Amino acid sequence: MKIGFIGLGIMGRPMAKNLIKAGYSLVILNSGKPSAEELKALGAETAVSFADIGSRCDVVITMLPNSPEVKDVVLGKNGVIEGARPGTVVIDMSSIAPLSSREIYAALGEKGIELLDAPVSGGEPKAIDGTLAVMVGGKKEVFDKCFEIMKVMASSVVYVGESGAGNIAKLCNQIVVAINISAVSEALVLAKKAGVDPELVYQAIRGGLAGSTVMDAKAPMIMDRNFNPGFKVNLHIKDLNNVLETSHEVGVPLPLASQVLEIMQAIKVDGAGVEDHSSIVKFYEKLANIEVTR
Q: Specify whether 63 is located in the same domain as 176.
A: no
Residue 293 in any domain: the answer is no
Residue 23 has a pLDDT of: 97
Residue 196 has a pLDDT of: 98
Backbone angles phi, psi at 43, to 5 degrees: 115, 0
Cα Rg of the chain (Å, integer): 20
HSE-up of residue 162 (Cα within 13 Å, Cβ side): 4
- CA nearest neighbour of 127 among 210, 15, 221, 21: 15
Backbone angles phi, psi at 180, to 5 degrees: -65, -45
Q: Specify whether 183 is located in the same domain as 90.
A: no
Query: Of 103, 135, 163, at which residue does a domain stop?
Result: 163
pTM: 0.92
Number of domains in the chain: 2
Residue 230 has a pLDDT of: 87
In sequence order, the 6+-apart residues with CB closer than 8 A to the CB of 201 are 187, 188, 191
Residue 10 has a pLDDT of: 93
In sequence order, the 6+-apart residues with CB closer than 8 A to the CB of 230 are 10, 123, 124, 125, 217, 276
Catalytic residues: 170
3-class DSSP assignment, residue 190: helix
> Across the 294 residues of the chain, what is the mean pLDDT of every consecutive 10-residue run?
96 98 97 94 97 98 96 98 98 96 98 98 94 98 98 98 98 98 98 98 98 97 96 96 96 98 98 98 98 96
Backbone angles phi, psi at 100, to 5 degrees: -65, -40
